[in-house]
Structure 1
Amino acid sequence: MPNRPLDDRPAPGPVVVWDRFVRVFHWSLVTCVVLNYFVLEGGKTVHQWVGSMALALVLARTVWGFIGTRHARFADFFPTPARLRSHLAHLRSGTHNPHPGHNPLGGTMVLVLMAVVLALGTTGWMQTLDIFWGEEWLQDLHRTMGNVLIGLATLHTVAALVMGRLERTRLVKAMLTGTKERW
């Protein structure tokens, strides 16, 4: 699709983007992160179970990233250097190159968030092993990564709201319904 200035957007209308699996994954992972960071105490059995659920969700999403529907596949939004340069150039110039699924920066955030959750799950699991039991550096690393995850999730949320305004797309609603609506 050709590059278009911000005032020459495609006509408004719904576009089916995110399948049920992606949406359930997204909101389930949000729930796990909120519970483990803001509600549950670290090191408790429930915290460990919720962390294990988050880890399982990311592993399932990784598989779905290769076999899922078009916009769920990593190939659809993988942030190659060329895609990132092009996207950033469009943002800087005030033009808009629509992306039905995630734009390259959004794709980068998806992969980084998933990697941080995997790292959190790994460091949490390591703390249950005899060899690492009580290791303060590991506990500090786990706690720091939890803080990084919250910072990245906040950035992700703000970026979704800002890009929704720039692209005139209801991104948050799309993650609930699976359909992007332009306005």
Structure 2
Amino acid sequence: MNTMIKVWDIPTRLFHWSLVILFIFMIVSGESDDLMEWHFYAGYLLTGLISFRLIWGFLGTRYARFSEFNLGPATVIRYTLGLLKAEHKPYYGHTPPGSVMIILLIGLLTLQLITGMLSTDDIIWNGPFYNSVSESTAELAGEIHETVQGLLQILVGLHVLAIILYKVKFKEALVPAMLHGKKTKHTESLNESNGVASDNNREATSWIKLLLSAIPAAGLSYWLFTLPI
């Protein structure tokens, strides 16, 4: 029987699946005039969600922290080339390409949220900060918003393909791990020193750190909801 260790804490898992739901809804609502008001509201929720993840990236448990991300260009290239050769080197947390993907997604989502709040749908709804910028700036923001939407869909597609690759080629189920938070323990993992298993399964989520992450994020979302659109 395989030994399982806890990798993803509950806040990280809730963030992930909330992001999935909001992302899908925003893609659908962004194409519908009737849902545009809700598109903005979903954006406010997503702003809070991204804000929470940014703070949790410093205060969260081990594999939620950005300090655990493997972002070195040489490491990312070497690992990616290994995947193309069907070489699977286990990581308990995010793999090097996965780390880059998370940073790109958070960065582009942040840009998408900012530009959306500066834009207008040219019919009824204006972003809450549309009147704070010039018409040319708002127009540029709208163009960036459209472009970034396409880039995000491409990245999400690559993310899904990677999940399928790991399941089919390497027999590693990433989706269940993001549901129950556990991964199979390896004799050696590349983000462990000396092959020692992670102690993250013994690292309890600090309620104080959770509140320090959640309260500012919730406050930001609440403030956005009070603004006229």
Shorter chain as denominator, the TM-score bin is 0.7 to 0.9
Counterpart for residue 150 of structure 1: 153
The structure with more radius of gyration: 2
Larger CA deviation: 39-48 vs 26-35: 39-48
Counterpart for residue 37 of structure 1: 27
Contact 2:7 2:92 in 1 (8 A): yes
Counterpart amino acid of residue 60 in structure 1 = F
Distance in 1 separating the partners of 2:157 and 2:134: 31
Equivalent residues in 2 for 1:121-136, closer than 5 Å: 121-127=113-119, 128=127, 129-130=130-131, 131-132=133-134, 135-136=138-139
Cα deviation, residue 48, structure 1: 0.8
Counterpart for residue 168 of structure 1: 171
Counterpart for residue 61 of structure 2: 69
Counterpart for residue 98 of structure 2: 106
- What is the number of equivalent residue pairs in this alignment? 172
Distance in 2 separating the partners of 1:164 and 1:76: 23
Counterpart for residue 4 of structure 2: 14
Contact 1:17 1:179 in 2 (8 A): yes
Deviations 1:1-29 (A, max 9, x none): xxxxxxxxxx8432311111111001111
* Runs of 4 or more consecutive aligned structure 1 residues displaced over 6 Å after TM superposition: none
Distance in 2 separating the partners of 1:92 and 1:31: 31
Q: Secondary structure at the match of 2:90?
A: coil
Distance in 1 separating the partners of 2:135 and 2:42: 20
Distance in 2 separating the partners of 1:88 and 1:150: 21
Q: Secondary structure at the match of 2:5?
A: strand
Contact 1:17 1:178 in 2 (8 A): yes
Q: Secondary structure at the match of 2:183?
A: strand
Contact 1:174 1:181 in 2 (8 A): no
Distance in 2 separating the partners of 1:93 and 1:148: 27
Alpha-carbon RMSD across the aligned residues, in angstroms, is 2.3
Q: Secondary structure at the match of 1:96?
A: coil
Unaligned ranges ≥5, structure 2: 120-126, 186-229
What percentage of residue pairs aligned between the two structures are identical?
30
Contact 2:4 2:183 in 1 (8 A): yes
Distance in 2 separating the partners of 1:181 and 1:132: 54
Contact 1:126 1:132 in 2 (8 A): no
Q: Structure 1-normalised TM-score? A: 0.83
Counterpart amino acid of residue 25 in structure 1 = F
Larger CA deviation: 52-61 vs 37-46: 37-46
Cα deviation, residue 133, structure 1: 5.2
1:28 aligns with 2:31: no
Cα deviation, residue 101, structure 1: 1.0
Unaligned ranges ≥5, structure 1: 1-10
Contact 1:170 1:181 in 2 (8 A): no
Deviations 1:28-62 (A, max 9, x none): 11111111102453683211110121121111101
Q: Secondary structure at the match of 1:78?
A: coil
Q: Structure 2-normalised TM-score? A: 0.67
